[in-house]
Amino acid sequence: MTTFDNREQAFETKYAHDEEMQFKAQARCNKMLGLWAARLLGKTGADAEAYARDVIKSDFEEAGFEDVLRKVSGDLDGLASPEDVREKRAALLPEAKAQILNSMP
């Protein structure tokens, strides 16, 4: 392999790693958002964990955050506005990213 090939492979590996970390951070953020919403809904324990998993799954409906926003806002129905949900997610995302980075070996 040439130096160029090695460099290209390194960039591709870094890109794949960065994408994986972003995916994990988004999933962690969605879980945290789901647990927050579960508390507002009065869910605890296994029910809260199950709800958080449903929130994570809702993110696979379409690209972006709108699918999660629709689910959580719809479920909260008056307990929190869509703007509240967006603000909470914005606050949780840096925390989720930090948790992912800190959990790396």
What is the tens place of the pLDDT at every residue in 10-20? 888 888 877 88
Q: Is 44 left (phi over 0), alpha (psi -120 to 50) or beta?
A: beta
Side chain identity at residue 7, one-letter code: R
What average pLDDT does range 71-88 have in this prediction?
Answer: 94
Question: What pLDDT digit, counting tens, does each position of 35-45 carry?
Answer: 999 999 999 99
Range of the domain at 47: 3-102
Q: Domain with 72 in it: what CATH number? A: 1.10.790.20
Q: Which of 79, 97, 72 is nearest to 21 (CA)?
A: 97
What average pLDDT does range 83-98 have in this prediction?
Answer: 95
Give the chain's domain count: 1
- What gap in Å lies between CA 43 and CA 24, rounded to an integer? 24
- What gap in Å lies between CA 101 and CA 39, rounded to an integer? 26
Q: What is the pTM of this model?
A: 0.84
DSSP state, residue 63 = S
